Structure 1
Amino acid sequence: MLNNDLYSEGIPIASMNQVQTGYAEMLTVVEGQTIERFAIEIQKINLQDSPESKGLVIKVIDPRLLERTGGIVQGMSGSPIIQNGKIVGAVTHVFVHDPTKGYGCFIDWMLMESGIIPQKEKQTSKRLFTYSVSLQKLA
């Protein structure tokens, strides 16, 4: 079981229209089974009308993660992306020619695909979600 000392309660959700370019964090496990927080930058936001895996372009800016892994590596897919205390999405792909950069999927699409948010609500990306996700339950 993963050791999660970062969040004892659920993390609020940010819908895609609340995501901004700039500072964010990625939660991932690099060694052992402890979840760590690493600084990233959301460089580009591609607002979408349907589920896609490349809604966010992210860049690893945390020197600790860059030193340890060189950036995004295999196994980091699905790592949560947190901005302003809210979960905005998850890592999906790494740029093949630049491992410091990658793509992320909006949390909106993941919640709809899982059935947590009804599919009919996907037409309104301006809706402010009041859901939260527990990382304790996901581990």
Structure 2
Amino acid sequence: CSEADGLYKAGVWVRDSTAGIGTLTYYDPSTSCFAGLGHGICDSDTGKLMPLLSGNIVSVTINGITQGRKGAPGELRGYFSDDAAIGTLLANVPSGVYGRLARSPQGPALKAAMKQEVKPGPVKILTTIHGSSPQYFNAEIERIDYRDSAQSKNMVLRITDEKLLSQTGGIVQGMSGSPIVQNGKLVGAVTHVFVNDPTCGYGIFAENMLEESRAAGALLKQKVS
């Protein structure tokens, strides 16, 4: 209520776009869809999931790192390698972002593990900390939460790779979506970092992301038809 005239007034708060660095987790040839981030894109002010009208993904080159420290999460810094989109977004949901790639990526295929196959113990995470070439780094699954309510926080990860720890301090912003591989299978993706301990963070099951990407694939078929 306005003190000047005693009348109630309405205001409009608008955010028309957002951009950031994240990691594509996988491409599913059976649906022609990709999945990334492992968590939804939320508004930086409200913390709420941002509604998606349209969106593109573009290639990024990493050219800097702000190391993570206790109480101060780090981040990957980079620039768009090319203005041309390599894919379009179809969905922004709590388990990640999903969409269609302009062309199928090259590289070896991995089978996705069911969540019951995921066990505490050593894993590899695939992430890019320099340039545009991803590398494998050592990590450990310390704890697993199989409950459906866990959403994008299904496992607790600890980074054990000395090279990654020395360069990033652990998990940093921009690594969300980095694939987690155990026993030759895709078991999940990195989603969050612990603010008070950047060597640790959460991961989501690949099975949870696959359910959403299949839904995105069904949406894509509807649009094409």
Q: Give the TM bin, normalised by the shorter chain.
A: 0.7 to 0.9
Between stretches 8-17 and 96-105, larger displacement belongs to 8-17
> Which one has the largest radius of gyration?
2
Q: Deviations over 1:31-77 (max 9, x none)?
A: 00010000000000100235700001000000000001000001000
Secondary structure, counterpart of 2:193 in structure 1: strand
Which structure is higher in helix share?
A: 1
1:85 aligns with 2:184: yes
Counterpart Cα distance in 1 of 2:196 and 2:137: 21
Cα RMSD of the aligned pairs, angstroms, is: 2.0
Match of 1:76 among 164, 175, 179: 175
Partner of 2:164 in structure 1? 65
Gaps of 5+ in 2: 1-58, 61-105, 218-225
Counterpart Cα distance in 2 of 1:39 and 1:69: 14
User: Partner letter of residue 197 of structure 2?
Assistant: D
| Aligned positions of 1:77-116 closer than 5 A | 77-115=176-214
User: Partner letter of residue 152 of structure 2?
Assistant: S
User: Partner letter of residue 158 of structure 2?
Assistant: K
Normalising by structure 2, report the TM-score: 0.48
1:8 aligns with 2:107: yes
CA 1:11–1:116 in 2, change beyond 3 Å: closer, same or farther? farther
CA 1:112–1:87 in 2, change beyond 3 Å: closer, same or farther? same
User: Partner letter of residue 90 of structure 1?
Assistant: A
Higher RCO (CA < 8 A, seq sep 6+): 1
Q: How much does 1:114 deviate?
A: 1.3
User: Partner letter of residue 48 of structure 1?
Assistant: R
Normalising by structure 1, report the TM-score: 0.76
Q: What percent of counterpart residues are identical?
A: 48
